Structure 1
Amino acid sequence: MMLLSRSSRVAGTTAYQCTCRYPYPRAINHVARRFQSTASDTEPKKPYYITTPIYYVNAAPHIGHLYTSVLADVIKRWQQFKGNESVLLTGTDEYGMKIQQAAGRAGIDPKEFCNTGAETFKKLADTANISYDRFIRTTDEDHKEAVQHFWRVLRERGFIDLKKHSGWYSVSDEAFYPESSIEQIVHPPTGQLILVSKETGKTVEWMSEENYHFKLSAMAPQLLEFYHANPTWLLPSQRYDLLKAEVSRGLEDLSISRPRERLNWGIPVPGDDSQTIYVWLDALINYITFSGYPWLPGGTRPSDKDKPAVWPADLQIIGKDIIRFHCIYWPAFLLAIGAPPPKRILSHAHWTMSKRKMSKSDGNVVDPFHAMDRWGVDTMRFYMCMDGGIVNDGDYSNTEVEDKYTHYLGNQIGSLLTRICSKKHDIAGSLRSEKVDVQVELTEEMDKLYNHLRGNVLEGVRERMEERMERCDLGGALREALGVVAETHKYIHAAALWQEGKERVRNYMLYPALEGLRISALLMQPFMPERMGRLLDLFKVRAERRGWECAALGMDFEYGEGTEGMKERLFPRIYSREQQMEKVKASRAQRRA
């Protein structure tokens, strides 16, 4: 037996501070300085600004849209959890040829068509508990004004020319592709030979017309300088290497308008009503429309000149299929007008099913509304962060969703809550004895268990998660918190505090298990805000003690009182398939009503 006090074995907590440097090259240092906050320590700092792509309204949302939005929302909530102001932008892309054609096929006005599509995507964000600050639409009036002003600046700086253009054009991608980016394939449904973009697999057709061009070719040296100065700008690094190699080979000037006789659903070119602004120039500007573009010196908006600037975005999240547009065109546009590119871009992989690309013709497209109806919103958020791919595609499986729900959520997190809240435990007594540093006699085995959970598992888990989140490794971060849950279960089992004869050490030994549940729940709030909020409510953790500072050992001694014997099942057992379908039907009927 040995006499030990808590104070002799608890490592001191370490203050953690994350700094993010953005090393612009000397050639564009003046651009960076214009947008650096000059606020003193007593003034507000720049909010952490994160964006999703804006989604096309010509087709229904799919699981990939949900995944992108969940990634963005988790990162935003993590920043808020750390005490940082953070803003999230999402929305819909509503101009362009494919919208014009889809509205024509539907026999309705393009704006009416867009209204329906935008409402569906907004409902997806709301259903998934995405905490966006604005749902932007490219048909918004302030966006139109921002786009036309951006065009005028490009033209005044000599970056726009009018000339004849011929090339391979994809209506689906709203993009021209060079000959080297085109390949011939067999169209699976028809067996016909078709030409497609190598990058996206979308059909292309030869098109020749006179339109305006952006001098992209002239921007290649500046882009390469920017990439060199920002080696972690695009994640993951594998795609960054491919991007730099592509730009190193040289760039062609970019068509940024279409004749209005072919494309009338779009923003007119200022001073030339015969042309419509090309959709990607229009669409990408939404990210600075939100920031109040055109800006005053320093990057603030005219109407909010006393507020800190939002741009540049701290993180822009995109799918791997739109890297060219966001990592070549977008920074080139910004540098051309004298504005800094975003600080970092995360490009994620796609979702497959049974290792096959999802497609309507194959009947393997996952409806995100149906998935959330069936499994629950937080279950889907959890699953997507666990199994979603960044480098490699994630493979969607209902069996995996159910298995992860049962194992991690039900048998691990939910079960830990009920085990901690056993009738045999005196939670308030355990916290009181910890606070006053009560000394007890422990066996060597019990002391080893105690020190492992407290020193090896709980100490530093917050910082380990932050390191993962800084690398945008959301799955890894989530597994750090789940590791705490699993180790706490092992601790409870090994300590066997329910046994007779352990009354004298029960309160002492219970404390790290209490902290294992509290700290892991705090750290998982950004991933599962509703369910972890409910767990913390049940565990009587005060609302003002659910932030970063409290997610460490010994930072809260006033929770859990009166929860002994609590029986609520945080994650109920999975329903039978018949019960699931009835639940889905009822939810759909309620949504339609």
Structure 2
Amino acid sequence: MVLADVLKRWQQIKGKETFFLTGTDEHGMKIQRAAAKEGIAPKEFCDNYSNKFRELAAAGDISYDAFIRTTDLEHKEAVSEFWLQLKHTLPEHLELYKGTHEGWYAVSDECFYPEDLVRPDIVPQTGKKIMVSDETGSEVEWVKEETWFFPLTKYKDALLKFYDENPNWITPAHRMNEVRNWVENHLEDLSITRPAARLSWGIPDPEDHNQTIYVWVDALINYITQAGYGRKWHSSSDNTGLWPADMQIIGKDILRFHAIYWPALLMALDLPLPKQLLCHNHWTMSNRKMSKSLGNVVNPFFAVQRWDIDPLRYFLMRNGSFTKDMSYSNQLIGSVYAKELQANIGNLLYRIARPKVTSKWSTLEAVGAFRRGAFGEIPGHTSQQLFVSLDDHLEKITSAFFEEMEKFNTGGAIREVFNLLRETNRYVSDTEPWNLVKSPNPQSRILLNLVIYNCAEALRIAGILLQPIMPTKASLLLNELGVREDRRTLEFASKGKDPEYGTEAKTGDSAARLKKWDTIFPPTPNANDSDAEIMEQLSSALHDKTKNKMNQVAELLAMEARMGEEAVAKMLSEMHAARNAKMGDILVALQEATASQPLTLEEEYENQQSWRTAHEKLTFIICQALPTADRASPSIKAKVVDADDRMIGDINFFIYQDDDPEETLQNRKANVALRGEIDVMIASTEHRRQGFGSASVQALLMYLRENMKHILKEYTCSLKLGQEVDLAELMVKIQEGNIGSRRLFENLGFNQVGDVNYFGEVTLLIAWAKVENLVDGLLNSGEVYREVRAQTETWTAKATQSKVKQATSEEIMEHYNFDPERVKRVSYCEKKYPLEIQEPDPSWPVQFQALESSIEAALGLKAICISHVGSTGVPGLSAKNIIDSDLTVAD
């Protein structure tokens, strides 16, 4: 929506009329099942989510002209008319036909996939074998049903001809290649209804209520519904009003529906096609796909409250890409905010419009000097050339910005403005207006006004150009310069185009320096600040501004205007609770550091299951040491919640297949080279610089050294590689400026490879052979490393009274009513493993212990000394994350 809004506003400042339609697609099996899961009617479910999207659009300052819902009556009527025309007006060789459809159907994608575009997969949480789409990874199910078909294959030649005649119809170009490939190699007739017995939530065939119109036929028609189809016009011979659209902006995941199905359907009824499709990529969280199961989904409302909407829009448009998925992180936003918005724009604005010596110059005087022609008196001597050095940048900026925006390259356009203002900041430093203002020489006054005028022009032009991207902030900037409302269009975005703006010099009390909270880009919470620190900053800001209670209320109102009423209320109400909820502060800070969406208990369980059963990643909670007098006895006990006040961070390990196996597998026997990545985080600043990070990394390296055989065995088995694998090296990515973390890994033998990447990170590597030597050296030097299996306090005594027997995993499941998902993990490699079951008195706890190391790998019973999670009642994290309590100690 932000991209569409930016492009709409761009057309507006060019002087064009615009109409921006957005809305919600509300029918289909996915909605029907989701509503049933929540126990509410589908319409109520849709009402809730549609309202959320409207609220999000308002929070994002999205200036849509119409918001359509596919459950609207006028849309249902338009779909019914479109459907009846398809059924009754097409020539015989192109008409719809009824038949039996069999195929792989993805409920989440609401579409069928050809046989050659699905593959077998396994659900990590359950070990269940499923079929998934190659394109999206969504689960597919085999469906056989009687439906109406649209003869899509008969439009193959027409589609290819259209693509040939309109090679730039899809942007970017590589998406057009994807579409052509699909049409040439995978085109099938399209099933365009579903049996109402299976899908009731949709628009029925007006002539046969046993059939529900396919959701993507329904959804695509929304574009012409809003343009008046079915009410104001019915065919291409009529005045079609707003149709065809000049542009439709879509995500890459729905390209096929818009680039193949939609044009074919329009061709069938001889209706005009949209003039262009703009296909964008997806955002990831710190280069990892956003997923609720991973707990890394961004809450957009929280992100807006944290950064304010215009800086967030600026970041999204600056870093947006049509060629690759983009990375979202608070660290990236914070860096852009400080460097490009606060320093480059905000700092320049106040240096020129409100300097400390502001009573000595003004933008009004400088613009007036230009209007009078005063700058023509400047001699062309070499010593004066510095003062006209900005002219070339001012002359080129608008055409350069225009060129990038016409290519939809918002990032490139923003960089042009950034470069102009960076040059302007340099220009100010070089010309030193604060010294010119002190000179009694009349020529110096002319030069002073020239400098201020050139800087004001740079800011004015930048403000006009940035209006589509940051409408509110750009307006504030132009207001500060005194630019009239009717002179903010593109025709005025050139040097000298507006000779009548500027503000007077501030005098007296009005000349006081602005406080930072009142600036155009005020301070924001640091990306690494905890919630408690943010609250403290808020509290300090309030009391620093004024001791007067009424003025404090006024300041609260100003903060609510900036941050949102709910956000301020939440922060203030939590100030007191924070003092008594130290652990809560840490958890909220972790959520805040990623602008993550809070998870429900069910989602959190799913997330834990995902980590526990994943084959390519490990995670461990870092805790402060437990006090113990006897180092020989285990200090980690099951069913004892003693970790909550000791958790201070986490450390993770990921396995990837190496991109350069020929190099990394030299002199090795394995066929597949793997690379491991380490990621460590100490949550609170109070626990940093105390050696926890270093100790945790060393402990992880020791753990990997001890257990790599089992880790690789499970990885190989889960992926069914059928080849030998070998871990070639370990990798870590660190922000360039994080000197402490870089030193930590460099001291362990990691070395930097390559330069700083686009995200400001450096990559450090170490060969696995060196890790083995490092661990051996640490152990030989006396470093202590223990792996402790979680135990009950009275286990040893009770074990002597136990009966012992052998059993298969199926018998265990039946006898103890185990979670079947976990038992399937035992048989994951399609082999039954014998387990030793110690069966004491039924009132006593029961503990299972694997007899074979392969079972230890499959179940993940190994515990690591730095691991400790009390929330599950099982202190200790396994090789595959947290151990289920019913696997370690049965209730």
Verify the 8 A CA contact 1:220 1:250 in the aligned structure 2.
no
Give 1:442 deviation, angstroms.
4.3
Give 1:573 deviation, angstroms.
1.7
2:477 alignment partner, SS class: helix
How far apart, CA to CA, are the structure 2 residues paired with 1:91 and 1:404?
Answer: 31
2:292 alignment partner, SS class: coil
Q: Label 1:182 to 1:496 Cα distance change in 2 as closer, same or farther (>3 A).
A: same
Q: Of 204, 228, 235, which residue of structure 2 is paired with 1:268? A: 204
Map of 1:453 onto structure 2: 390
Map of 2:134 onto structure 1: 198
How far apart, CA to CA, are the structure 2 residues paired with 1:238 and 1:352?
Answer: 21
Give 1:144 deviation, angstroms.
0.5
1:293 alignment partner, SS class: coil
Map of 1:356 onto structure 2: 288
- Residue 320 of structure 1 aligns with an amino acid whose one-letter code is K
How far apart, CA to CA, are the structure 2 residues paired with 1:418 and 1:397?
Answer: 29
Q: Label 1:240 to 1:118 Cα distance change in 2 as closer, same or farther (>3 A).
A: same
Map of 2:566 onto structure 1: 587
| Deviations 1:469-516, CA, capped at 9 Å, x for gaps | 111111111111222211111111111122143334211333211100
Map of 1:186 onto structure 2: 122
Give 1:590 deviation, angstroms.
6.4
Instruction: Identify the range of structure 1 (557-566 vs 381-390) with the bigger mean alpha-carbon deviation.
Output: 557-566
| Deviations 1:213-234, CA, capped at 9 Å, x for gaps | 1111011111111111111111
Map of 1:535 onto structure 2: 477
Give 1:445 deviation, angstroms.
4.8
Map of 1:569 onto structure 2: 519
Q: Label 1:323 to 1:474 Cα distance change in 2 as closer, same or farther (>3 A).
A: same
1:213 alignment partner, SS class: strand
Verify the 8 A CA contact 1:446 1:495 in the aligned structure 2.
no
How far apart, CA to CA, are the structure 2 residues paired with 1:453 and 1:375?
Answer: 32
Verify the 8 A CA contact 2:367 2:502 in the aligned structure 1.
no
1:148 alignment partner, SS class: helix
1:459 alignment partner, SS class: helix
Map of 1:441 onto structure 2: 378
2:434 alignment partner, SS class: coil
Map of 1:153 onto structure 2: 85
2:385 alignment partner, SS class: helix
Equivalent positions of 1:321-470 (< 5 A) are 321-421=253-353, 422=355, 423=358, 424-438=360-374, 439-442=376-379, 444-445=381-382, 447-454=384-391, 456-470=392-406
Verify the 8 A CA contact 1:538 1:563 in the aligned structure 2.
no
Indicate whether 1:514 and 2:451 are aligned: no
How far apart, CA to CA, are the structure 2 residues paired with 1:589 and 1:103?
Answer: 33
Map of 2:215 onto structure 1: 279
How far apart, CA to CA, are the structure 1 residues paired with 2:414 and 2:155?
Answer: 40
Verify the 8 A CA contact 2:362 2:505 in the aligned structure 1.
no
How far apart, CA to CA, are the structure 2 residues paired with 1:148 and 1:162?
Answer: 18
1:338 alignment partner, SS class: coil
Equivalent positions of 1:58-73 (< 5 A) are 69-73=1-5
Verify the 8 A CA contact 2:306 2:524 in the aligned structure 1.
no
Q: Label 1:298 to 1:141 Cα distance change in 2 as closer, same or farther (>3 A).
A: closer
Q: Label 1:138 to 1:580 Cα distance change in 2 as closer, same or farther (>3 A).
A: farther
Map of 1:177 onto structure 2: 113
Residue-pair matches, total: 519
How far apart, CA to CA, are the structure 2 residues paired with 1:209 and 1:404?
Answer: 53
- Residue 546 of structure 1 aligns with an amino acid whose one-letter code is R
1:460 alignment partner, SS class: helix
Verify the 8 A CA contact 1:442 1:505 in the aligned structure 2.
no
Indicate whether 1:230 and 2:166 are aligned: yes
Give 1:174 deviation, angstroms.
0.7
Q: TM-score, normalised by structure 2?
A: 0.56
Give 1:579 deviation, angstroms.
5.5
Verify the 8 A CA contact 1:227 1:233 in the aligned structure 2.
yes
Q: Of 75, 79, 104, which residue of structure 2 is paired with 1:143? A: 75
Map of 1:479 onto structure 2: 415
Indicate whether 1:75 and 2:54 are aligned: no
Instruction: Identify the range of structure 1 (257-266 vs 569-578) with the bigger mean alpha-carbon deviation.
Output: 569-578
1:149 alignment partner, SS class: helix
Equivalent positions of 1:30-41 (< 5 A) are none
Q: Of 128, 150, 153, which residue of structure 1 is paired with 2:60? A: 128
How far apart, CA to CA, are the structure 1 residues paired with 2:11 and 2:564?
Answer: 37
Q: Of 544, 548, 558, which residue of structure 1 is paired with 2:486? A: 544
State the Cα RMSD in Å: 2.3
2:408 alignment partner, SS class: coil
Q: TM-score, normalised by structure 1?
A: 0.84
How far apart, CA to CA, are the structure 1 residues paired with 2:263 and 2:294?
Answer: 37
Give 1:449 deviation, angstroms.
3.2
Higher relative contact order (CA 8 A, sep 6+): 1
Verify the 8 A CA contact 1:292 1:300 in the aligned structure 2.
no
Instruction: Identify the range of structure 1 (203-212 vs 292-301) with the bigger mean alpha-carbon deviation.
Output: 292-301
Gaps of at least 5 residues in structure 2 are 539-558, 571-891
How far apart, CA to CA, are the structure 2 residues paired with 1:299 and 1:451?
Answer: 57
Verify the 8 A CA contact 2:320 2:410 in the aligned structure 1.
no
Q: Label 1:533 to 1:299 Cα distance change in 2 as closer, same or farther (>3 A).
A: farther
Map of 1:241 onto structure 2: 177
Instruction: Identify the range of structure 1 (565-574 vs 344-353) with the bigger mean alpha-carbon deviation.
Output: 565-574
Give 1:77 deviation, angstroms.
0.5
Gaps of at least 5 residues in structure 1 are 1-68
How far apart, CA to CA, are the structure 2 residues paired with 1:408 and 1:215?
Answer: 53
Map of 1:162 onto structure 2: 98
- Residue 434 of structure 1 aligns with an amino acid whose one-letter code is F
Verify the 8 A CA contact 1:194 1:203 in the aligned structure 2.
yes
Instruction: Identify the range of structure 1 (383-392 vs 501-510) with the bigger mean alpha-carbon deviation.
Output: 501-510
Q: Of 156, 180, 186, which residue of structure 2 is paired with 1:220? A: 156
1:168 alignment partner, SS class: strand
Instruction: Identify the range of structure 1 (158-167 vs 369-378) with the bigger mean alpha-carbon deviation.
Output: 158-167
Give 1:133 deviation, angstroms.
0.7
Query: Highest CA radius of gyration, 1 or 2?
Result: 2
Instruction: Identify the range of structure 1 (133-142 vs 239-248) with the bigger mean alpha-carbon deviation.
Output: 239-248
2:336 alignment partner, SS class: helix
How far apart, CA to CA, are the structure 2 residues paired with 1:210 and 1:389?
Answer: 42
Q: Of 209, 215, 219, which residue of structure 1 is paired with 2:145? A: 209
1:122 alignment partner, SS class: helix
2:197 alignment partner, SS class: coil
Q: Percent identity?
A: 44
| Deviations 1:33-62, CA, capped at 9 Å, x for gaps | xxxxxxxxxxxxxxxxxxxxxxxxxxxxxx
- Residue 506 of structure 1 aligns with an amino acid whose one-letter code is L
How far apart, CA to CA, are the structure 2 residues paired with 1:99 and 1:236?
Answer: 31
Verify the 8 A CA contact 2:362 2:502 in the aligned structure 1.
no
How far apart, CA to CA, are the structure 2 residues paired with 1:403 and 1:397?
Answer: 10
Verify the 8 A CA contact 1:159 1:336 in the aligned structure 2.
no
| Deviations 1:297-355, CA, capped at 9 Å, x for gaps | 88698xxx6xx821111111111111111111111111111112111111111111232
Give 1:410 deviation, angstroms.
0.4
How far apart, CA to CA, are the structure 1 residues paired with 2:2 and 2:71?
Answer: 24
Q: Label 1:428 to 1:84 Cα distance change in 2 as closer, same or farther (>3 A).
A: same
| Deviations 1:530-575, CA, capped at 9 Å, x for gaps | 1111111122111111111111111112212225557351111223
1:87 alignment partner, SS class: coil
Q: Label 1:332 to 1:288 Cα distance change in 2 as closer, same or farther (>3 A).
A: same
Verify the 8 A CA contact 2:283 2:325 in the aligned structure 1.
yes
Instruction: Identify the range of structure 1 (345-354 vs 171-180) with the bigger mean alpha-carbon deviation.
Output: 345-354
Equivalent positions of 1:18-57 (< 5 A) are none
Instruction: Identify the range of structure 1 (547-556 vs 522-531) with the bigger mean alpha-carbon deviation.
Output: 547-556
| Deviations 1:345-387, CA, capped at 9 Å, x for gaps | 1111111123211111111111111110111111110111111
